[in-house]
Amino acid sequence: MNIMNITVLGTGLMGYPIARRLCEAGHTLVVWNRSRDKAERLLAFGATVADTPADAVKDADLVIGMLENGAAVEAVLFGQGVAEALKPGTLVVDMASIKPREARDHAARLQALGVAHVDAPVSGGTVGAEQGTLAIMAGGEAEDFARALPVLQLLGRATHVGPHGAGQLAKLANQLIVSVTIGAVAEALLFAGKGGADMAKVREAIGGGFAESRVLQLHGGRMVERDFTKRAAMSVQLKDMRNVMDTARELGFEAPVSTLFEQLFEQAVDNGLADLDHSALFVELARRNGME
């Protein structure tokens, strides 16, 4: 394995385990986070903590961004001196979930500075980040994806899905499926419970049939146990569904299912569930049915 100088910008729920895996693989790592204490957790694994994002990237061969949303990516890359501090030839791998048009815009602006860009959002949550089993959906030039692949393979299974922005399209498709499946599992369990069945036993009974899914197993388990500790935030799921709808409008694509689930997650957030796990859509549906 070629040891690289890697920078990770954003060491929160997802960025921290990603950075830790890269440290443990032997890469030279510099990290930055808006809240410095979250970055300093990585000192024990050999990382260096930078004071600013621009300082963090100045010697990097590859920069991984795991920031909250498109506005945060825009602010860090182009508002805090990162783009200007990057060496020509550096590869930026943006693993945040943002709008496809934002990814295309960032790629074009970085390419004008001689910097390569791959949009590579992920699915799999904190468990996938910790275990190195993330699904990574990458958009950009094939040769840039090939450069990033040895690093991405430390984090999960990476697939090149098309040009700049295509990784974000794939992630939005993923989030659409996740949203609908969380809603289906929650409603099905509550439906069974309302009628007098044991929800835990119903989940067990239908596992292995056509209703089987990772959402049924992981999120369904959280619903049965009423454990909605944040792994993937409700507020982030709503952000992703809003991005789905914005992109659908740009494409002239009719998305009635996405429209419904954007509304459901929005109502759940409005009812105080923003900082719970996205499986807490169960709580919103339980409230509607008098099953809190």
Catalytic residues: 171
Q: Are strands 122-123 and 116-119 parallel, antiparallel or unpaired?
A: unpaired
| Rounded Cα–Cα distance for residues 54 and 85 (Å) | 6
DSSP per position, the chain = ----EEEEE--STTHHHHHHHHHHTT-EEEEE-SSHHHHHTTGGGT-EE-SSHHHHHTT-SEEEE--SSHHHHHIIIIISSHHHHSPTT-EEEE-S---HHHHHHHHHHHHTTT-EEEE--EESHHHHHHHT-EEEEEES-HHHHHHHHHHHTTTEEEEEEESTTHHHHHHHHHHHHHHHHHHHHHHHHHHHHHTT--HHHHHHHHTTSTT--HIIIIIHHHHHHT----SSBHHHHHHHHHHHHHHHHHHT---HHHHHHHHHHHHHIIIIITTSBGGGHHHHHHHHTT--
| Rounded Cα–Cα distance for residues 49 and 43 (Å) | 7
177 Cβ contact list (under 8 Å, min separation 6): none
Residue 6 · residue 64 · CB < 8 Å: yes
